[in-house]
């Protein structure tokens, strides 16, 4: 089995400087010797066999369980080395067969009726709230930031994301009603109420997030303009002038896309505007990484646009704008990973060392998927009829300027990036 793992790595690692010590003590080197040296150790033949046969699942498990030890470099360095070279093709016949089986079973894995959706959400989002405060921005935005310029801070980039989304939603008059599907800890809903003059309903399936969001609404004196509910979007009554969904569509599941967009069409007024912000894959339909599905986001799936657009068409909605954000999430995840590791001792006190390794691997793997494997963010703007959205995109910058002015009025002393 030593030779099998060595063959797999020799196929993958043609560049770089990787040394691996196997359970027998034997050393292998891979790559062309360029770049910073990276050394890892596999602690048992069991893990050698597992990684060789099913690297997509077992590499993460080995690191989490201590079966793979980084002796020089970091797990982020290792994943960057592997993921920028492996591409989208499985490295051996075993991995290829497992990928095919997982693709065949993906609709079962992503079957997300309301009860199961709530369980899946609780798995990730009902963790101790203090965990997220270790690495997110002050507003707890747990989705891709919008970096307008190099060197922009995470907090400024997350504020820019909210402003960019609000601009696309065309809050051209006060007191428009808005539905936030998957409202998280309430940051976007509160932003829309405070700076765009909206009346917001936010729905979530996370009890932890709901409690925080409601407290924030009370503390901000916005409780009369923002209502947060523990409610599935499929059970939400309408209609609404505006609908927004940020970082939630990844949890819908490929078998529920027509249901999802059908509900948006049902809830959106005839002259309304909706915006869906989601992670997407550039290479076409695929599967959820099995490690991510098992330990991080059960029931989740990152869609290709070719899977999304037919469901929008069947719902009778018009696509009025699509924007692709490419490396924005890589930079967001880098910031999260660095913040998380800077507070890893606090995370370990909340949970344990195994949990810290699991989350380090999750953040690093996600970052490298955006850097090297075709993951991106899409923002799809939707309407029910022509003429609702202006003919050119100039309105976005104009609306952002007005929203920035509102931010200054509502937060005296606030300085925006670039000022």
- 82 touches 73 (CB < 8 A): no
* pLDDT computed for residue 185 by the predictor: 95
Q: What are the sequence ranges of the domains in the chain? A: 2-100, 114-410
Please compute Rg for the chain using Cα positions.
22
* pLDDT computed for residue 202 by the predictor: 97
pLDDT tens digits, residue range 195-217? 999 999 999 999 999 999 999 99
* pLDDT computed for residue 299 by the predictor: 76
DSSP letter assigned to residue 304: B
pLDDT tens digits, residue range 358-379? 999 999 999 999 999 889 999 9
Look at residue 37 and tell me whether its pLDDT is greater than 50.
yes
* pLDDT computed for residue 2 by the predictor: 67
- 124 touches 328 (CB < 8 A): no
The CATH class of 2-100 is alpha beta
**Distance (Å) of CA 377 to CA 119, 276, 318:** 25, 10, 20
Look at residue 401 and tell me whether its pLDDT is greater than 90.
yes
Look at residue 413 and tell me whether its pLDDT is greater than 50.
no
Whether this model's pTM surpasses 0.85: yes
Q: Read off the pLDDT of each residue in 168-188 and give the average, rounded to a whole number.
A: 96
DSSP lists the bridge partners of residue 220 as none
| Percent of the chain residues topping a pLDDT of 90 | 72
* pLDDT computed for residue 160 by the predictor: 98
CATH match of 114-410 with 3.40.50.300: no
pLDDT tens digits, residue range 129-164? 789 999 999 999 999 999 999 889 999 999 999 999
**pLDDT, averaged across the chain:** 89
**Distance (Å) of CA 60 to CA 278, 312, 354:** 24, 35, 11
| Percent of the chain residues topping a pLDDT of 70 | 88
């Amino acid at each position: 089995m030593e030779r099998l793992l060595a063959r797999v790595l020799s196929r993958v690692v043609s560049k770089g400087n990787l040394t691996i010590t196997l359970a027998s003590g034997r050393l292998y080197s891979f790559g062309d010797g360029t770049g910073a040296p990276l050394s890892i150790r596999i602690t048992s033949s069991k893990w050698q066999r597992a990684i060789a046969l099913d690297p997509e699942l077992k590499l993460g498990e080995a690191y989490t369980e201590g079966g793979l030890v980084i002796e020089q470099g970091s797990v982020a360095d290792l994943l960057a080395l592997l993921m920028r070279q492996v591409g989208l093709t499985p490295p051996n016949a075993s991995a290829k067969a497992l990928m095919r089986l997982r693709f065949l079973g993906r609709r079962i894995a992503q079957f997300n009726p309301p009860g199961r959706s709530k369980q899946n959400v609780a798995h990730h989002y009902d963790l101790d709230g203090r965990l997220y405060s270790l690495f997110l921005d002050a507003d707890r935005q747990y989705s891709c930031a919008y970096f307008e310029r190099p060197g922009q801070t995470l907090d400024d980039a997350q504020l820019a994301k909210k402003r960019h989304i609000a601009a696309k939603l065309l809050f051209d008059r006060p007191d428009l009603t808005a539905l936030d599907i998957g409202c998280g800890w309430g940051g976007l809903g509160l932003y829309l109420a405070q700076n765009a003059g909206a009346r917001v309903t936010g729905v979530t399936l996370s009890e932890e997030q709901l409690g925080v969001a409601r407290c924030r609404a009370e503390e901000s004196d916005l409780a009369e303009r923002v209502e947060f509910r523990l409610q599935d979007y499929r059970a939400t009554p309408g209609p609404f002038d505006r609908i927004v969904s940020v970082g939630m569509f990844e949890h819908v599941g490929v078998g529920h896309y027509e249901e999802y967009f059908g509900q948006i069409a049902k809830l959106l007024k005839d002259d309304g505007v909706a915006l869906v912000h989601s992670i997407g894959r550039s290479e076409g339909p695929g599967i959820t990484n099995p490690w991510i599905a098992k330990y991080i986001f059960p029931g989740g799936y990152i869609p290709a646009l070719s899977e999304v657009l037919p469901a929008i068409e069947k719902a009778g909605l018009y696509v009025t704008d699509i924007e692709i954000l490419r490396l924005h999430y890589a930079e967001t995840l880098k910031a999260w990973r660095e913040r998380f590791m800077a507070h890893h001792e606090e995370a370990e006190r909340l949970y344990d060392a195994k949990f810290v390794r699991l989350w380090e691997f999750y953040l690093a793997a996600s970052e490298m998927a955006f850097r090297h494997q075709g993951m991106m963010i899409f923002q799809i703007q939707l309407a029910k009829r022509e003429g609702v959205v202006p003919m050119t995109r100039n309105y976005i910058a104009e609306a952002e300027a007005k929203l920035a002015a509102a931010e200054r009025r509502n937060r005296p002393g606030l300085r925006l990036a670039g000022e």
